[in-house]
C-alpha cells in the first residue's frame, strides 16, 4: 500500500515528546487539510523520507520505526477554531506525555481556494464551522464531508504513517463536542470512550444547528436526525454503550439556548445509557475551562484505552 505524502509544517519538542503539524491532500474533502499531532516520549517516527521542499521543513512521508505503538485520542474543536487552538491553549501535552497517549487534532472544516464559505462571513457556517457532517446540498457537498474525514480518512492516515495502534478515543468542545458524541454513538465499535466539554447535544432544536443543518443537509429535518446526539443516544443498544464523560460550566453563555445539555441527560436516563456529567460552578465556554479539566478527560480515556 502506498504511504500518503505529508508536508511537515512545524515541529516542536515538549515534555520529551514531539508536537507536529502536517498538511495533506484529503480525498474526502477534495482539498488540502492540516492536522496537528502530539507524539509522547517513546512514540515517534524513527525515519522520514523526504520528497522535496513544499514547506518550511519540506514535504515528508513519516514511516513508523521501532518505537512502541500507542493509543490515540482524537480532539474535535469548536466553531471558528483550527487544529491549532487546542494544541496551543489546552495544555494537554503534559498529561498525554505522562500517559503515553497520542493526540490528534484535525481542523474544523475544509479550507482553501474554491471551498464554499458563508456569503455574509458568518462564523457559524462554512469555514471553521463544518459541524462534522457529510453535506448533501450544493455548494457545500463538494467539500464539506467532515464526518467521513474524521471517521475514516484521518484515522487511516494516522495509523498508516505513525506508530499507533487501533485503540481510539474521541472528545471535543462545543461543535466539536457535538461531533465527538455523534461520531462515537454512530460508530461505537471504533472507539473505547467518548467525552465532551460544553457540547451542542440537541442541534436540531438550536439556532446554530438549524442554520448549519438546513444549509448542509437541506430542509427535511429527518435528514438531520442522524447528527443529533440526543436522538442517537435514545436508540443506542446496551451492548454498544461507551464510557461517556461531559464537563459543562454553569456560567456558559451558550448553555440555555445553544447547548441544551438537560435534554441529553434526560435522554441518557431514559435509555439507561450511563453518563458522568460534571456541572462546574463559575466556568464559561472558553479554553480556560478546557485547560482546567483536560487532564481529567485524558485520564478518563486512558483508563478505557488500557482496558481489554
Coil, helix or strand at residue 61:
strand
- Is 23 inside a domain boundary? yes
Range of the domain at 198: 6-305
CB atoms within 10 A of CB 46: 11
What is the average pLDDT across 53-72? 59
> What does the alpha-carbon distance between residue 112 and residue 180 come to, in Å, rounded to a whole number?
24
Predicted pLDDT of residue 187? 98
Q: Convert the pLDDT of each residue in 135-150 to its tens digit.
A: 999 999 999 999 999 9
- Is 1 inside a domain boundary? no
Predicted pLDDT of residue 48? 42
Predicted pLDDT of residue 50? 31
- Decide which of 242 and 2 is more confident: 242
Predicted pLDDT of residue 307? 76
Q: Is 301 a catalytic residue?
A: no
Predicted pLDDT of residue 45? 52
Catalytic residue among 24, 178, 215, 285: 285
Order the strands of the 59-64 sheet from edge to edge. Answer: 45-50, 59-64, 6-14, 17-26, 31-39, 102-106, 70-76, 164-173, 194-197, 244-249, 276-280
- Is 278 inside a domain boundary? yes
- Does the pLDDT of residue 54 top 80, yes or no? no
Q: What is the DSSP-derived secondary structure letter of residue 271? A: H
Predicted pLDDT of residue 68? 76
Catalytic residue among 28, 174, 193, 198: 174
Of all residues in the chain, the percent with pLDDT exceeding 90 is: 88
Of all residues in the chain, the percent with pLDDT exceeding 70 is: 91
- Is 33 inside a domain boundary? yes
Q: What is the mean pLDDT of the chain?
A: 92
Comparing 28-37, 59-68, 208-217, which segment has the lowest mean pLDDT?
59-68
Q: Is 174 a catalytic residue?
A: yes
What is the average pLDDT across 60-87? 84
Comparing 22-31, 41-50, 134-143, 171-180, which segment has the lowest mean pLDDT?
41-50
Predicted pLDDT of residue 44? 66
- Is 73 inside a domain boundary? yes
Residue 58's CATH number: 3.40.50.1820
> What does the alpha-carbon distance between residue 94 and residue 16 come to, in Å, rounded to a whole number?
9
Comparing 113-122, 126-135, 185-194, 282-291, which segment has the lowest mean pLDDT?
113-122
Predicted pLDDT of residue 239? 95
Comparing 63-67, 126-130, 179-183, 213-217, which segment has the lowest mean pLDDT?
63-67
Catalytic residue among 83, 107, 247, 252: 252
Predicted pLDDT of residue 64? 47
Predicted pLDDT of residue 47? 33
- Total tally of structural domains belonging to the chain: 1
Q: Is 120 a catalytic residue?
A: no
Amino acid at each position: 500500500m502506498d504511504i500518503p505524502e505529508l508536508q511537515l509544517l512545524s515541529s516542536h519538542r515538549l515534555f520529551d515528546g514531539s508536537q507536529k503539524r502536517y498538511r495533506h491532500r484529503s480525498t474526502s474533502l477534495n482539498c488540502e487539510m492540516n492536522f496537528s499531532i502530539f507524539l509522547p516520549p517513546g512514540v515517534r517516527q524513527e525515519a522520514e523520507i523526504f520528497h522535496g521542499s513544499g514547506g518550511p521543513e519540506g514535504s515528508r512521508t513519516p514511516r513508523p520505526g521501532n518505537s512502541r505503538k500507542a493509543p490515540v485520542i482524537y480532539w474535535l474543536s469548536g466553531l471558528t477554531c483550527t487544529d491549532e487552538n487546542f494544541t496551543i491553549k489546552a495544555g494537554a501535552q503534559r498529561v498525554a506525555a505522562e500517559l503515553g497517549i497520542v493526540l490528534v487534532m484535525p481542523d474544523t472544516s475544509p479550507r482553501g481556494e474554491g471551498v464554499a464559505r458563508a456569503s455574509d462571513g458568518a462564523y457559524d457556517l462554512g469555514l471553521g464551522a463544518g459541524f462534522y457532517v457529510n453535506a448533501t446540498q450544493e455548494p457545500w457537498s463538494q467539500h464539506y464531508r467532515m464526518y467521513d474525514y474524521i471517521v475514516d480518512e484521518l484515522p487511516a492516515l494516522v495509523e498508516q504513517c505513525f506508530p499507533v495502534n487501533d485503540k481510539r478515543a474521541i472528545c471535543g468542545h462545543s461543535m466539536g463536542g457535538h461531533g465527538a458524541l455523534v461520531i462515537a454513538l454512530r460508530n461505537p465499535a471504533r472507539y473505547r470512550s467518548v467525552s465532551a466539554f460544553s457540547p451542542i447535544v440537541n442541534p436540531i432544536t438550536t439556532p446554530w444547528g438549524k442554520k448549519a443543518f438546513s444549509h448542509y443537509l437541506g430542509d427535511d429535518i429527518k435528514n438531520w436526525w442522524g447528527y443529533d446526539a440526543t436522538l442517537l443516544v435514545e436508540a443506542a443498544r446496551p451492548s454498544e454503550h461507551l464510557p461517556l464523560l461531559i464537563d459543562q460550566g454553569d456560567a456558559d453563555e451558550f448553555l440555555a439556548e445553544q447547548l441544551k445539555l438537560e435534554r441529553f441527560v434526560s435522554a441518557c436516563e431514559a435509555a439507561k445509557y450511563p453518563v458522568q456529567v460534571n456541572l462546574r460552578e463559575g466556568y464559561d465556554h472558553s479554553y480556560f475551562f478546557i485547560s482546567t479539566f483536560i487532564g481529567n478527560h485524558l485520564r478518563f480515556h486512558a483508563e478505557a484505552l488500557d482496558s481489554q
